[in-house]
Amino acid sequence: MVDNPFLVKMRTHGDLDGQEVDFVRSLCQRRETVHAGTELAPQGSNPEVVWIMLSGLACRHKSLEEGERQIVAFLVPGDLCDLQVAMLGRMDHTIEAMVESSVATITVLEVREILNCRPALTRALLMANLIDLATVREWVVNNGRRAALARVAHLLWELYLRHAAVGLVTDHMYRLPITQRDLADATSLSNVHVSRTLTRLREEGVLQWSARTVEIKKPERLREIAGFDPDYLHGAGQRTEPHGLRDA
């Protein structure tokens, strides 16, 4: 099993001392397993806790009339959701687990304690928040201005980097246990066109996606097709070529 992905992420956003590392570990004690389809935070609800993804995959999505929906973010292990909403708002979208996932819950009180007494950790949380914001902005650009091929490539490359950043890439492969329809809902394409687009990427030997696992075969080419500029990840994707980050 890899190390706690949330801890890994917090460490990349700032140097935590031993005490703070212990504190982060203790935060992730209260765990819960949710199965695929569970709505952690339905639209309209008032969450009283903040979730930390420890394993699995979740997404934020908004649905419009007629069953159409748009996914506006993926939550991978290490991500945490809705610091602000838990403190002062109502969900304007839904957070849903896409596969069986393990999450830790921390209370608003614990969050306040962090903000008051843990400057290094606070800084790391702010950084994570900044990256989340930048990522949504990049999605506007991606879904708005790039053609289907680049768009799908961009998303799969982003997810590759984000998984790599928390040690979840092995031999250029990461798990992506979602359907093409989910990918379509994230890229604002139709499921049919996502299928065609993936076929093209596969035929060009850029990547494989089977058994719920994405394998990047030509990283450089994929990045090029995607027109990817990693700035928006603010360093979280710097280990673009993870070397032997195996489970251990």
Partner DNA sequence: CGCAGTGTTGACACCGTTCAACCCTAGTGG
Partner DNA sequence: CCACTAGGGTTGAACGGTGTCAACACTGCG
Numbers of helices and strands, H then E, in the chain? 9, 11
Select 146 or 175, whichever has its Cβ closest to a copy of itself: 146
Least distance to a copy of itself from the beta carbon of 211, Å? 29
Quick check: 149 binds a copy of itself (CB under 8 A)?
no
Distance CA(217)–CA(215), nearest Å, equals 6
* 240 touching a copy of itself, by CB under 8 A: no
By CB under 8 A, residue 90 contacts a copy of itself: yes
12: left (phi over 0), alpha (psi -120 to 50) or beta: alpha
- In the numeric block, the tokens 């569970």 are attached to 38
Helical packing angle, 180-187 and 148-165, nearest 10° = 100
- Closest separation between CB of residue 62 and DNA, Å? 17
User: In terms of Cα–Cα distance, which of 182, 188, 170, 195 is closest to 36?
Assistant: 182
Examine residue 196 and tell whether it contacts DNA (CB under 7 A).
yes
Binding mask 117-156 for DNA (x = CB under 7 A): ------------------------------xxx-------
Among 25, 31, 35, 137, binds a copy of itself (CB under 8 A): 137
| Region near a copy of itself per CB under 8 A, out of 59-67, 97-105, 168-176, 217-225 | 59-67
Give least dist CB 60 to DNA, A.
19
CA distances to 73, 75, 141, 176, 177 from 211, rounded to whole Å, are 23, 20, 30, 9, 8
- Among residues 3, 22, 113, 231, which is the contact residue for a copy of itself, using CB under 8 A? 231
In angstroms, the CA 98 to CA 38 distance is 8
Question: Rule CB under 7 A: which residues touch DNA?
Answer: 147-149, 179-181, 188-193, 195-196, 198-199
